[in-house]
Structures are given as structure tokens and as C-alpha cells.
A and B are shown apart, each in its own frame.
Chain A
Amino acid sequence: MTGDPSGTCSADFSGTPPSAAAPPGDAVIVVQGVSFAYNGQPVLENVDLTVTAGDFMAMIGPNGGGKTTLLKLMLGLLAPGSGTIRIFGQAPERVSHRIGYVPQDVHINTDFPISALDVVLMGRLKPGRGWSRPARGDRVAAHESLNRLGMGAFCDRRIGALSGGQRQRVFIARALVCQPDILFLDEPTASIDPQGQTDFYRLLRELNQRITIVLVSHDLLTVSSYVKSVACVNRGVHHHTEAEVTGEMMDMYRCPVEIIAHGLPHRVFKEH
């Protein structure tokens, strides 16, 4: 581990784990006593959370409960009011080259003149490189990342000309192009149709063989059959290391009610 914040991407995309990957079971994300407030409004209070290598964790909770805030804290986009966040034992912004991120809103800037390939190349960005065309290795990696997500044929397409689901794949390709060790996704299925969602979660499960995944979601039912653990976020955090939705979650954290109305799920709920 070099700790080099400028990023050390290798050109190949063979799926072999990088040498620095933590062995399964090691704590890769450690959140300790973190509180955060927007304009004096507390959003998160005294949050403790540990995510181990190889985990596939879903963060659920009511709107405004702090899921996205917690994600942004772990990404280093926000600084905690108090407490510490360590990723691979370092401050998040120091390990940003080992983190992949898929944002919630893939509909931003759809008029922007940029091709799918250039969006993916952004994932290999090294600050201050300036004008120079992306290196050959970067272009090869970007093409391979797009191919892997079945988007190779669309690499020259303008991002605004793609459908929501296709754009989502481009954004995932961008997150994966630097071979991250952790992948963060914020409500990734919002713009994908049901069939696309099944494919998407299969893909995540496949990626999870190598990458630790943290996912913010509303759709608890779908998520619960793929994830390994669930964190309920509503000002505080309850981390359930089994992917079961319990009545306690419903009561304490007022998790989204719509999941109860879905009828019999494929997973047995405790009484609530």
C-alpha cells in the first residue's frame, strides 16, 4: 500500500485482486462516534459502524434519516462534526483512488457534450494532468470497463442520448475503471426497470466476490435477497450482520412502510 492519493491504476482489467486488497473479514470501514448536522439540524448522532472486507451492506432508512449523508461522509465529501472515519485505516480523501462511487442522480447534466467513453475516463483522472489526451492504458481500461457492462457499442454515444439504465451502466463502469476495493452506490436502481434491476444485482453479487460493496437503497425487498448485511440509518445506525429485515428495524427506525404493503416477501420477516 503506497497511500499515494494521486491514484495508481494499472492498465489491465483482468479482475485479479490488487495486491493491497484487505483479506476477507478485516475491517475496511470504521466509523467511530460520528455526528453531523446541517445548519444546526442534527442528521447523524454518535454513529458507530464497522464494515468488513467482502461485505455487501445495504443502508436503509426513512427519507432524511441520513443514509446519503453517511455515504458522503465515508466518501470524504463531507467532514464529520465530531468522531472519526477511517477507510483502510486512513482518512477517506487519502484513499479516494481505492474507492468507486456511483451517484444517485444519473440524470445530471444530460445536455453536457460528453461521450460515454469520456465519462468512464473520468474514473482514471489524475488531477493536474491538464490537456494531454488520456494515456493508452487508460483508454484500454475504459473500453474494457464499458464492455464488461455490455456498453462497449455505446462508447462514442453522447451521454444524454442513452436511456436511464444505460447511463447507470456507464456510471458503474466509471466507478469500476480504477479497480476500486470498495464500491459505494447511492440508490442505484432508481432509473432501472425491474428486469434491469435483477441483472444489476446479479452483477453486483459477481463484483462482490472481489469488492466490498456499500449500497443505499429504498427497495428493501429486492436488496434483502442479495446483500450480506443491513444497516438501518435514522440519526443513529443499527448494523445487522444478517440480511434479515426485523420487526425491530420497523419499530425503531421507521423503515419505509411500502415494504410491508408488498405482500408476502420471499424472506421471512419476524412479527412486527
Chain B
Amino acid sequence: MLEALQYEFMRNALAAGLLASVICGVIGSLVVVNRIVFLSGGIAHAAYGGIGLAFFFGWPYLVGTLGFSLAAAMLMALVTLRARHRADTIIGVLWAVGMAIGVILLDLTPGYNVDLMSYLFGSILTVPTADLWQMAIVAGVDLTIVVGRYQDFLAMSYDEEFARIRGVPVRPLYLLMIAMIAVSVVVIIRVVGLILVIALLTIPPFIAEKYARSLLQMIGFAGLLSGGFTVVGLYLSYRFNLTCGATIILVAAAFFFACLAWEWLKTKRERPLPAETG
């Protein structure tokens, strides 16, 4: 690993991975406890429309994806707030429409864009230093907002109705949270790609949730786990010449299944099968 770090692109990749881990810890934990994994998936895939938009009009990547994801995210959030029971359908539609717009716009764009694959699978090895700054800013803003209004986010995530009765401005806070998810998803797509972003956003918080004693601890654990997965995945992909994003996700998945197996063994030992006890 250390020899790998003499290359600038590896140092940048490591920095990008660790910054993405901070974002995953904060945003992923909110996504998991608020049970909006599907909504986040919708935002991530609708972002593909933004990629198409950026290519077609020759805009910078970030302008297209950020704008498009934010718009799609706000639409999904408003539908969720207004008609919760229909929300999954609307999100599913926006999910597909965003992707379709992206595909069509890329069809209409002259020339062949090799770069496209990097949006699907991530391009952590080619992250320029300027993008690292963007990620650092997003990570900083996410952390500041969530920690700064921790009690409100906690109350809203645990019991929205009670939070409203206690005077928490749930609606603006919810929209703010969805906007943060949209921005963060776009940034993490850089690291593991559109297809894998949800896995990185949900696996570490899901493991952390089992052992944390509070939402804040969960955020911390999830960030650490995510950082660990990224470093190990990055090393394995360097060592065996594998695609970075997919390797990171498989490391996370392996740990995830190991945790499930451990939990299962533990409950089995505590409670022997009825057949054995007679």
C-alpha cells in the first residue's frame, strides 16, 4: 500500500475515498434510520439524466448532475411529504425517467464518450485535486448541518409526529435532508459510480446501527467502517488490478455478511434449537 502511495493518483484516490466515507457516515445514517433508501436510489439514478444534460449541452459534469438531482430530489421529497403511500410509485417513475432522459440525450450527443463508464462504475483513480476540494466542502457542510441541528434531526428521524408537536420544523428539515442526500450522492458517484452508490451509502450504517447506542455513535461507526472498507478495497484493487468501486463494495458486503453470520451464531448459542432441548 505504501509503495502505491507514491503515485499522486493513488494519494488522491485514498483522500477521495476517505472524504466519501465521512459523507457516507453522516448521510447514509440518516438515509437508513429514516428508511429512505429507495428515495436515495431514485435520486442517484435520476442523476444520470443530469449526466446526459451535461454532455449534450457541454456543461461541466457537476452543474448538470447537481441541478438535475436536486430538482428530482425536491420533487420526490414533496410527493413523499404529501402522499406517503404513493411515494414509492412516483419515485420509481422519476428513477426510470431520469435514466431514460440521460440515455436519449447521450444518443443525441455527437461522438462517443468513453468517460461514460466511469459514471456508472466510478472513477476514483482519476479524481483531480479540484474535485477533492468539492468533496471536502460537501463533507464539511453535511457534518456541520447534522451536528449543528442534531437534536432536531434525531427527533424527526425517530418520531416525526412527536417532533412536530414539540415544535421542530419538520417539513423544512426534511427538505434540507433530501437536498443534502442529493448533493452527497452526486459526489459519492465519483468514487463508486452510479450503480454502487447506494451500497456504500447503506451497508456501513446498517452494520453500525446494530452496535451504536445513539444516532451520533451510528454516524461515527458508519464513517469508520466506510473508511476501512474504502482503504482495504482500494488496496485489493491495486494489488489484483480490479475495478475500484466494485472491490470496495464487495469488501463492504463481505463484512456485512460476516456480521449477519456472527449475529446468527450468537443467537443460536444463546437459544438452543427446540429440537435439542426436547
Contact = CB atoms under 8 A, between A and B. Distances in A.
A25 interface: no
Q: Which of B152, B158, B165, B214 has the most CB of A within 10 A?
A: B165
Interface stretch (A101-109, A145-153, A220-228, A240-248): A101-109
Contact of B149 (A114, A115, A128, A134): A128
B160 to A, nearest CB: 9
A122 B148 contact: no
A127 interface: yes
Interface in A19-51: none
B159 A108 contact: yes
Given A108-B159, A158-B213, A113 B218 contact: yes
B22 interface: no
A101 B217 contact: no
Contacts of A103: 159, 161-162
Contacts of B167: 5-7, 93, 96-97, 125-127
Interface in B140-186: 147-152, 154-155, 157-159, 161-169
B14 interface: no
A43 B151 CA distance: 35
Interface residues of B, number: 28
B218 A99 contact: no
Given A75-B165, A112-B33, A130 B158 contact: no
B215 interface: yes
B213 A125 contact: no
A122 B161 CA distance: 12
Nearest to A123: B166
A165 interface: no
Given A113-B217, A113-B218, A114-B215, A125 B148 contact: no
A131 B148 contact: yes
Contact of A112 (B149, B150, B158, B161): B158
A130 B150 contact: yes
Contacts, number: 91
A129 interface: yes
A91 B263 CA distance: 49
Contacts of B214: 113-115, 118
Contacts of A125: 151-152, 155, 163, 166-168
Nearest to B152: A127
A76 interface: yes
A114 B214 CA distance: 5
A261 B255 CA distance: 55
Contacts of B213: 113, 115, 156, 158
Contact of A131 (B150, B159, B166, B169): B150
Contact of A122 (B147, B166, B209, B217): B166
A130 B167 CA distance: 14
A130 B150 CA distance: 5
B212 interface: yes
B147 A131 contact: yes
Given A101-B165, A115-B214, A127-B166, A122 B149 contact: no
Interface string A114-144: 1100110011011111110010000000000
The 5 closest A-B pairs by CB, nearest first: A113-B212, A125-B166, A127-B168, A131-B150, A127-B167
7 contacts: A77-B161, A93-B167, A109-B159, A119-B158, A126-B167, A127-B169, A131-B151
Given A112-B209, A126-B166, 14 more contacts: A7-B167, A75-B165, A77-B161, A96-B167, A97-B166, A101-B165, A109-B158, A113-B209, A113-B213, A126-B167, A129-B152, A130-B150, A130-B152, A131-B149
